[in-house]
Structure formats: C-alpha cells, structure tokens
Structure 1
C-alpha cells in the first residue's frame, strides 16, 4: 500500500498512527501543503478530492478521507468493535470529529501555524474559535471523565480519529487544556499503546 500523507496534518496522522499500532508497513509519500509534491500528486490524479491523505491499495484503487481510511484499515482488528451499538457509537464520534471538532480545533491551529493562512487569523475569528473549541472539548471531557475510551471499554477508531488534533490542541491551537483532566488522561493512555508513534515520528 501507498499512503499520500501531509506530514504536518492531523488528518494524515490518523492512518499513520493506526498503521503503527497495527504494525503494518506502508510506503509513505509526503505531500506537504504548498510543496511541489502535492502539486504533482494532484496532477497525477492520485488525490481524488484534491487533498491528503489518500491510501492507494495494492491494486491501484484510491481511498480518500482520513476516517474512511481508518475504517478500511481497522476492519477485522481490535480497533473495530464487534458489538453493533458500540460500533455505531464509534462512528458517531468519528462523524462528529469531521463535522464539528476538526473544523474548529484544527482550523485554529492552521491559522496559527501555516504562514499562508495567518492573514485569516483576525482577533475576532481566533476568539470565536477558542470559545467554540473549548465547548467542543467539554463534550469530550463529559465522556472521558468517567470512561477510559470514547466508545466501549477498549480503544477504537474513534479514539485514533479524535486523538490526532486533540493532542496538539494546546501546542498548535492555543487551547487551555488544564481544565480537561479526563482528556489529558486519555491522551496519555493512547500514547502508551504498543507501537505508538507521534505526529513527527
């Protein structure tokens, strides 16, 4: 398999982390934002939605979208719950991650960290994202203050999906994580999983 991956992106980090936890090999193709490599990948037609990550299967089929890639890679593993209700809860968190969490937590980080987006980081916009982000993190805290994992009693794809941008929410996004002890303990549990690799590894 070949993974077209933007090294600095949380979305690209999700499949890299799952592959590391599963001990599975993949050929990584770095396509950083604004690089000649991503322009070449777009021209070659290997990024169906114009962005990374994309998983290219051995037969050449292309799977875009980070959470869809997680579902494909997680099939038949311990990260995919057997119980139908738990599996639906897992998917619910993953849909929420893309529909709510990523569009605030990741966006604020991008406005702070990517030079080509800093002109969009007005004080008003950053303050709005900060307030909304803390509210979203409180949703996670409500679950994780009384449970080890987001869905069921074991780590699932939901945890990997939401870990990607949550674990850099303070450093990159400027969010105050001191008020979220449940989330912080959960972050530690994921980092302690066998095979774990960080964003920059």
Structure 2
C-alpha cells in the first residue's frame, strides 16, 4: 500500500529518527530522502524549497503540504490512533513531556552526542563544555528516571508519542553521549520496552 508520504530526514539525527520510528510502529510506508549534514541531497532539498523551516525532518504529504518539526509530525501521524490518549488530561500530560524533551533534553543530551559524533562539531567539543553537558544531562535524565520508576510508560498504561519523542535521543545517550546510564534503571527498562514493540526500527548510526 502506498501512503504517498515523503520524509526528508537526517537518518543519524534523533529528531528524524522519532518520525521514522513512529512510521515503523504504525506500519506506514513512505519514501525517504536522506539528507545527512553537508550532503548533496541536503543542498538540493534547500534549493528546492523542500525544507520550509530550513531543517529536517520535513514530511511531504500527497497534497503538497509540508509538515515541519518532529513533534508536530508525530502529532499528525498519531492523531486518531492509540498513540494519542483519548483523555484530555492525558493528552496534556503527553504534550507536557514532549515540550520537556525539546526544552530541557534536546539542548543537552542531543548536543553532547553531536559534539562527540560529528566531525564538523568537534571544534566546539571543549572539555569544559562537555563536562557541563554531562552534569546537566545526568540531572535531566534523573527527572525522567524518577518519573518512570514504577510505571511502564510516560503517560497512562500504554505508549504514546511522548515515549517516542523522549526515546529519540535518550536511548542512545549512553553510547553516543557518554552518559552513565547505569544510574537510570527505570529508563533502561523503558528503553527495552520500546525496542520490543512490533514494527520497531533502529537508529541509523553513521559508520
């Protein structure tokens, strides 16, 4: 079945991965244009106006509409599915965790991983900055771990797109960010539950 969806994505990026993961879990087919940093495909996407906000991910719909920002794309894809709770309070709690991820987590967890992963960011990876991001990351991961202690999912009794949003960078925060994940048993168990979901796909880590 053709879904007529085209995803412009940076496969090694957690924000793009969130959308790829949800599409896999929903069993939806799509075409992907891979736009890694400094790639010809990324330059062509910019030139063609395929990235209205100047970045990936961007989801192109069959009618020509282009959706930007990973959280907004998750909301569009999950609307009307069990990945969005029917209860308004739980919907608000779900969105609260998604805002938390963008406001508190991405600027720390994702940035430290990028500084350690991408050659073009290496000049900014000073010992002082890496140390500060390490401390801040452990603090923010502690918030998530405390919340997940004694529960399977972030909101309610089933996974929501809040779990997808936080999983995008959290699941690789040890391997890519260098965080001490042994401190966070509740997060580790939650990551295992996400990875066991039918349709799960892995992050495409660059060689």
Give the TM-score of the pair, scaled to structure 1. 0.99
Is 1:30 the counterpart of 2:61 in the alignment? no
Q: Which residue of 2 aligns with 1:56?
A: 60
Q: What's the offset of the Cα at 1:133?
A: 0.2
| Aligned ranges 1:8-27 → 2 under 5 Å | 8-27=12-31
Partner SS state of residue 67, structure 2? strand
Is 1:115 the counterpart of 2:119 in the alignment? yes
Partner SS state of residue 32, structure 2? strand
| RMSD (CA atoms) | 0.8
Partner SS state of residue 178, structure 1? helix
> Aligned partners of 1:132 and 1:146: how far apart in 2?
24
Q: Which residue of 2 aligns with 1:129?
A: 133
Q: Which residue of 2 aligns with 1:198?
A: 202
Is 1:143 the counterpart of 2:142 in the alignment? no
Q: Which residue of 2 aligns with 1:66?
A: 70
Ranges in structure 2 where 5+ consecutive residues have no aligned partner: none
Count of aligned positions: 201
Corresponding residue to 2:6 among 2, 26, 32: 2
> Aligned partners of 1:62 and 1:33: how far apart in 2?
21
Q: What's the offset of the Cα at 1:122?
A: 0.5
Partner SS state of residue 54, structure 2? coil
Q: What's the offset of the Cα at 1:86?
A: 0.5
> Aligned partners of 1:188 and 1:156: how far apart in 2?
15
Q: Which residue of 2 aligns with 1:170?
A: 174
Q: What's the offset of the Cα at 1:9?
A: 0.4
Q: Which residue of 2 aligns with 1:182?
A: 186
Corresponding residue to 1:103 among 86, 107, 110: 107
Partner SS state of residue 198, structure 1? coil
Ranges in structure 1 where 5+ consecutive residues have no aligned partner: none
Q: Which residue of 2 aligns with 1:93?
A: 97
Q: What's the offset of the Cα at 1:200?
A: 2.2
